[in-house]
Chains A and B, each alone.
Chain A
Amino acid sequence: MSEEKEVTEETQPIVLEKLREKFADALLADAETSNGVAVVVNKDNSYALLEYLKTELAYAFLVDVTAVDNSNLESELMQYDYARFMVVYHLYTFEGETPRIRVKVPVHEKDLKVTSVTTLWKGANWLERETHDMFGIDFEGHPDLRRILMPDDFEGHPLRKDYPLRGRGERERFNFEKQNV
């Protein structure tokens, strides 16, 4: 096992090479992880890269879509031009040597828009709705971008770092009669 590792250290995973070749300008960072690779791509090319991964490199399985609010994570903010949010996609392939790939897309607060991947994966529908619900990120081209976990008339986005753990008094103000629609 250790011998194999030494060989692969020189030759990068083939996925990474292909991505570097095709998306040379769009890739902001890339790295190997313990179970695959992780890449950071700029927002304009995120859809193209994910489509390429799905159709050309057989990453057929969308494991997860989520986001991270980097407000309190100085190192990440510095590295990606003070982009507040990082939308994170996890993909999986049933074949190949790098089973998992993590694609991260920095998103600035003044332009909270990412292209939706619902056209590539049906499973992305609810994942993007949840990310929208929790972080307020808009997915362009999403067919039904509503809140999913929080009530429809909820204000704010609970997983943002500036949202307090115990809420902003929604529990006390909750109107039961208004809910009976």
Chain B
Amino acid sequence: MQGKMERTTGEKMVLNFGPQHPATHGTLRIVLELDGESILKATPHAGYLHTGFEKLGEHLDYNQYIVVTDRMNYLSPLSNNFGYVLAVEQLLGIEVPKRCQYIRILMAELSRLADHLLWLGTAALDLGAFSVFLYSFREREKLYSIFEKTTGARLTTSYTRVGGVFRDLYDGFETDARDFITNFPKALKETHTLLTRNRIWMDRTKGVGAISPEDAINYGLTGPCLRATGVAHDIRKAEPYSSYDEMKFDVPVGTNGDAYDRYLVRMEEMIQSCGIVGQALDNLPDGPFSVEDNKIMMPDKSDAYGHIEGLIHHFKIVMDGHGVQPPTGDHYCATESPNGELGFYIVSDGSGTAYRIRIRPPSFFHFQALPHMLEGGMVSDTVAVLGSLNVIAGELDR
């Protein structure tokens, strides 16, 4: 920022940032109008990864659509699975058993950790801190092996079902998760020593891409980006869903709303998530891991093979027009995904397929606010700001 006034040349240059650029993490494009090294105007372009997820929702049944939600925010698919089925369940008017709610919280918080870790690694890598990338990916790998053991997949998890999850936690889950949350804060401290008081990191991120709380609300920012401005808003606290009201955790906030504060907020959120995982493990209730209504949830395989009732239910669930059919109406359900408010607005016409599914992705709003944070800054800040926002092209373009 310092050299801003001296470096004007009076000539305007247009620079295309992306769609293919190592720092865009997906396919985004920003057209920068530069005067020397300062940014006069930034125009973000979205749509390069548009896949028609909303249209697809009108042609798949409620359970089939879960696989599509994996692909929205591909850094934390479990959070997306969770948010989507919660919306359908609220539309159906059912509540899942306590154990299922806790399992979902566990997976959502672990995926928040995985998402923030990937963000941390790549955001630091974009600014040249290569070792942080290695540290955070080492930790993330542990989480991914937990996901793999639980869901059978690393990325395309599709763990939840309308009315529950498709299988219980595996036997060694508690040990693995406890191992992780006891060792993780120490590992995070290593990153703190590498970055938090690092002169270069501070120079590159402090005061860069700042936004005021009023503007942040006006632009629709949510999640860590909103909290970095000082607004202590977290949907897990404001409108507790699942069993979040039973969890004790703090909502970290920043003061300046700049890239550095977004970094600090995410770092503290990871510690808070560890705390939630610990509490959920302590109080993990026994009992069924999904609703026992076989008109919503597919019966156990042994039941389908051994009993005529089970077999009937098994087929009814997967047959068009006989499975999950919410009553006519519409519903909006928001959850706190790692990036912010992830909302699903579902309109049902009473059939087995949604009439309309609208996804409210947090990244869409963050990317829209980018010019506000960039204009007047230096061209080198683009990478720092874009990195701090964690724009995921998959959910941006859907």
Binding site for B on A (CB under 8 A): 33-35, 38, 60-64, 66, 68-69, 72-73, 75, 88, 90, 94, 99-100, 102, 121-123, 125-127, 134, 147-151, 158-159, 163, 165
Contacts and interface: CB of A to CB of B under 8 A. Distances in A.
Given A63-B341, A66-B358, A102-B332, A149 B50 contact: yes
A90 B238 contact: no
A62 to B, nearest CB: 6
B94 to A, nearest CB: 12
5 contacts: A35-B332, A100-B334, A123-B220, A149-B50, A159-B54
Contacts of B217: 60-61
A158 B52 contact: yes
B368 interface: yes
Q: Determine the main DSSP class of B at the interface with A.
A: mixed
B55 A88 contact: no
A175 B358 CA distance: 30
A123 B211 CA distance: 14
Nearest to A144: B43
B46 A64 contact: no
Contact of A150 (B50, B58, B331, B369): B50
Contacts of B368: 123, 125-126
B90 interface: yes
Interface residues of B, number: 41
B220 A63 contact: yes
B343 interface: yes
Given A62-B220, A149-B47, 6 more contacts: A63-B332, A68-B347, A90-B360, A102-B330, A121-B219, A151-B47
Nearest to B332: A90
A57 to B, nearest CB: 15
Contacts of A69: 356
Contacts of B59: 165
A123 B360 contact: no
Residue of A38, A69, A126 with most chain B CB atoms under a 10 A cut-off: A126
Contacts of A151: 47
A64 B218 contact: no
Contacts of B372: 122
A73 B349 contact: yes
Contacts of B231: 94
A73 B217 CA distance: 34
A100 B90 CA distance: 15
Interface string B90-108: 1000000000000000000
B228 to A, nearest CB: 16
A58 B365 CA distance: 20
